[in-house]
Amino acid sequence: MIKTTVIALLGLVAATALAEDGKMPPASTKTDVTFATDIKPLFDASCVKCHSGEKPKAGLRLDSLENTLKGGKNGKDKILTAGDSANSPVVKMISHMGDQDGWMPPAHNKANIGPLTAEQIGLVRAWIDQGAK
């Protein structure tokens, strides 16, 4: 219990630091980043608990490449622009930038999922910058 609390607090401190300085982590230097190999495992661990199934939050399913590219609310709310991670809403959300209501995962979520690390955010950025394939 104490270990979990300490880990959660460290994650919150890291996320708060990112949000306070207003900067998102840089894109990873890894090449050939793909959804299937690199991003799906990350989304499975941090996102699909809320963003999958018949009634996903915000109508956004992140359980497949097709659904992720489609965006939320039946495709009306795109979360990324392939080739442009810096201006993709999903990167701002996972970087905990802007309004806390848009942070993903939310700071106090029922699943107790902590924020993504700078390395994970960098990987998502690289995937988007490399064409989101």
Q: How confident is the model over 10-22, as pLDDT tens digits?
A: 444 444 444 444 6
Q: What is the DSSP string of 88-124?
A: -HHHHHHTT-S-GGG-SS-TT-TT-PPPPPHHHHHHH
**112 CB neighbour count, 10 Å cutoff:** 9
Helix (H, G, I), strand (E, B) or coil at 9: helix
Mean pLDDT of the chain: 87
User: What predicted TM-score, i.e. pTM, was given to this entire model?
Assistant: 0.82
Closest by CA position to 125, among listed 78, 93, 77: 93
pLDDT tens digit string along 56-86? Answer: 999 999 999 999 999 998 778 999 999 999 9
In the chain, where are the structural domains located?
2-129
> Given this model, what pLDDT does residue 22 score?
61
